[in-house]
Amino acid sequence: MVRFPPPAAAAAAAYLLFLFTTSSFVLGKRYELSPGWTAVNNESLKGAGSDGGSSYRILRAGEDPIVSDNGSFSLAFYDPQGTNRYFLCVLLNVGKSKPAPASLVVPIWIANSNSSFSGKATLMLTGTHKKFILLDSTGTLKWSSGSVVGISSLELDETGNLMLISEDGSVLWQSFEHPTNVLVPGQTLRPGMSITSVNSSSQQPGPFRGTMEASGFVFYVLPETEPTMADMLRKPQPYQVWSVGSSSSSLESALKVCDSSKAVMAVTSSGIVISYERSSSGECGGDGKSLQVYRNDEDTAAESQYWKLEENGDFVLRGFHEREQNWATVFALSTRANDSCKHPTACGSYGLCNSQGKCQCVGNEELDDHTSHSCGAPSGVSASCLANEAANHHFVKIPSATYFSNAFSRPDLRSSSLEDCSAACASNCSCAAAFFSRSGGGDCFLVDEVMGSLSLVGGGAGAEEGDYTALVKIQNAQLISAPLSASRGKGTSKSARTAIIFLAVLCGVLAVMLAAGGYIIKIKYPHAYNKMMRRS
């Protein structure tokens, strides 16, 4: 990362201002649509296939294929695996031949990522509300424009932004404000906007997310299962933070709100820049601070390029080579850190990564001898809380080991000892592992779910206890008491207690309101009250 000195920062801020104010003037091709317009997924649509089985069909407005003026983007029905499972996408098209081979196109926006369709699906502009609906061959709704109504045309500009336009020419909705897992030059992310990894075979959302926060961009690992109400306050775990408001790369610095200004991340052909949208006073941005996350070599930068959050959580930049007619990786987040062990998927969950990038899996009593890059939870990791949590568990102690999210997170305990850290995790049902740091003055990190890899620091697992110690909680083979009904992470966790307190308070408030309402009825309408009581 390159943090601009003040003069360059001002130039970067001016460039971003230019980008924002001129984005509406990007050339776009508009397609007028009448109510009742349809596009049916069948062989009549022009498209292309590939040897790998993928294929796509470009939608038409009348006789015109819906493509951008520069021919680089199209609106299409896309089958990524050749399995007759289609998605409505905006595709980035490259290559010498048009339409481009399906193996070279890249979906930069996906409408129905949670619900593919097969057969002759239909995209329709309804006659009554003038909204888009996507129906499969059985009439099942697969996607719609939701509350966006009054659509009279759509526009696909030369940066790949798909816009839905009203009769008066205003933009009702645009795909750049609803990104999936890909970013292209010309796109900006504002606080609250995210990209999410996508499973390459199912196209379902994956467990990795990149979110634009108030003062930076944060990559998170999400829990594998959807949290229940009792677990609703569990937070995803950060594995990379780009903060513009502070020299610190902590999650706290990225979440910090600075006056009325908020940061935006701009993707250009020259790279990625994070800057405050408006000049702010005070510590955060009075001098127009900007952060150059990545800068392209202008002499070698590819004309066609895209950034993608991969299904393994890596964030990569790929450029298209015209001569070779293929995509090549230019940048990868996992390799930039100069330590592949810092990536959460280096060895899988409960995998320990050493300085040579080799993995060992955590077992029920110690580290296993065998190596694997796809470790998982040991058999002794219980999904249930126990009546006597501390007595029914032991720890696998790993000297000189830490966890990927600790570098970006606030400690749960400060100025503690290893014994304090161990006891805090042992007695807490929501704790799956504890990580103690002497170098931090006794910092203790409690992790409610081991979602990724551990890594060795310094001497390694065979060395004497160093600055870091990992304690992985394992259930004993012989239990003192039977499991409780609660699941791990939901029993005595802070989020569970908060949820229970919230429900109790809510019930109390409702009871008071009902009692007050009954009293008012009794005083103001005694006859009605007496009649109601007689009926009850």
In angstroms, rounded to a whole number, what is the distance separating the alpha carbons of residues 422 and 444? 9
Is 199 in the same domain as 115? no
Q: 229 pLDDT exceeds 70?
A: no
In a domain, 526, yes or no: yes
> Which CATH number is 173's domain given?
2.90.10.10
Mean pLDDT score, 491-499:
44
Is 209 in the same domain as 316? yes
In angstroms, rounded to a whole number, what is the distance separating the alpha carbons of residues 345 and 233? 24
Is 278 in the same domain as 175? no
What tokens were used for 406? 């600790």
Tens-digit pLDDT profile for residues 286-311:
446 788 999 987 666 788 999 999 99
Is 7 in the same domain as 109? no
Q: Number of folded domains in the chain?
A: 4
Q: 527 pLDDT exceeds 90?
A: no
Mean pLDDT score, 442-451:
94
Q: 521 pLDDT exceeds 90?
A: no
Last residue of a domain, one of 128, 160, 181: 181
Is 163 in the same domain as 226? no
Range of the domain at 394: 348-487
Q: What is the DSSP string of 388-437?
A: TTTTTEEEEEEETEEETTGGGS--SBSS--HHHHHHHHHT-TT-SEEEEE
Q: 350 pLDDT exceeds 80?
A: yes
Higher-confidence residue of 180 and 458: namely: 180
Nearest to 471 by CA among 417, 433, 437, 420: 433
Confidence class of residue 314 from pLDDT cuts 50, 70 and 90? very high
Instruction: Collect all residues with Cβ–Cβ distance below 8 Å to 143 and sequence separation of at least 6.
Output: 88, 111, 112, 115, 132, 133, 134
In a domain, 474, yes or no: yes
Mean pLDDT score, 9-29:
51
Tens-digit pLDDT profile for residues 356-366:
878 999 987 77
User: What's the pLDDT score for residue 494?
Assistant: 42
Residue linked to tokens 């513009």: 244
User: What's the pLDDT score for residue 299?
Assistant: 62
Contact in structure between 447 and 432 (CB atoms under 8 Å): yes
In a domain, 341, yes or no: no
User: What's the pLDDT score for residue 336?
Assistant: 74
- Does the predicted TM-score (pTM) go above 0.75? yes
Query: How would you classify residue 458: left for phi > 0, otherwise alpha for psi between -120 and 50, otherwise beta?
Result: left
In a domain, 343, yes or no: no
Contact in structure between 342 and 355 (CB atoms under 8 Å): no
User: What's the pLDDT score for residue 473?
Assistant: 94
User: What's the pLDDT score for residue 334?
Assistant: 87
Q: 239 pLDDT exceeds 90?
A: yes
Residue linked to tokens 């004309």: 303
In a domain, 308, yes or no: yes
Nearest to 30 by CA among 130, 183, 161: 161
User: What's the pLDDT score for residue 491?
Assistant: 40
What tokens were used for 391? 């007595």
Last residue of a domain, one of 456, 472, 487: 487
Higher-confidence residue of 395 and 381: namely: 395
Q: 474 pLDDT exceeds 80?
A: yes
In a domain, 342, yes or no: no
Last residue of a domain, one of 276, 311, 336: 336
Is 35 in the same domain as 167? yes
Confidence class of residue 24 from pLDDT cuts 50, 70 and 90? very low
In a domain, 15, yes or no: yes
CA distances from 349 to 297, 343, 407, 449 (A): 36, 11, 17, 9
Is 32 in the same domain as 135? yes
Helix and strand counts by DSSP (H, E) for the chain:
6, 38
User: What's the pLDDT score for residue 286?
Assistant: 47
In a domain, 303, yes or no: yes
Mean pLDDT score, 99-107:
91
Higher-confidence residue of 510 and 436: namely: 436
User: What's the pLDDT score for residue 23?
Assistant: 45
Is 401 in the same domain as 313? no
- Is the sign of the CA dihedral 167, 132, 79, 195 positive or negative? positive
User: What's the pLDDT score for residue 483?
Assistant: 45
User: What's the pLDDT score for residue 202?
Assistant: 78
Q: 471 pLDDT exceeds 90?
A: yes
Is 173 in the same domain as 278? no
Tens-digit pLDDT profile for residues 147-184:
999 999 999 999 999 999 999 999 999 999 999 999 99
Mean pLDDT score, 88-105:
87
Is 3 in the same domain as 38? no
Is 224 in the same domain as 80? no
Q: 103 pLDDT exceeds 80?
A: yes
Q: Which of 56-60, 268-272, 337-341, 436-440 has the lowest mean pLDDT?
A: 337-341
User: What's the pLDDT score for residue 167?
Assistant: 95
Compute the mean pLDDT over every residue in the chain, rounded to the nearest whole number: 82
Tens-digit pLDDT profile for residues 4-17:
444 444 444 444 44
User: What's the pLDDT score for residue 15?
Assistant: 45
Percent of the chain with pLDDT over 90: 50
Confidence class of residue 493 from pLDDT cuts 50, 70 and 90? very low
Is 216 in the same domain as 94? no
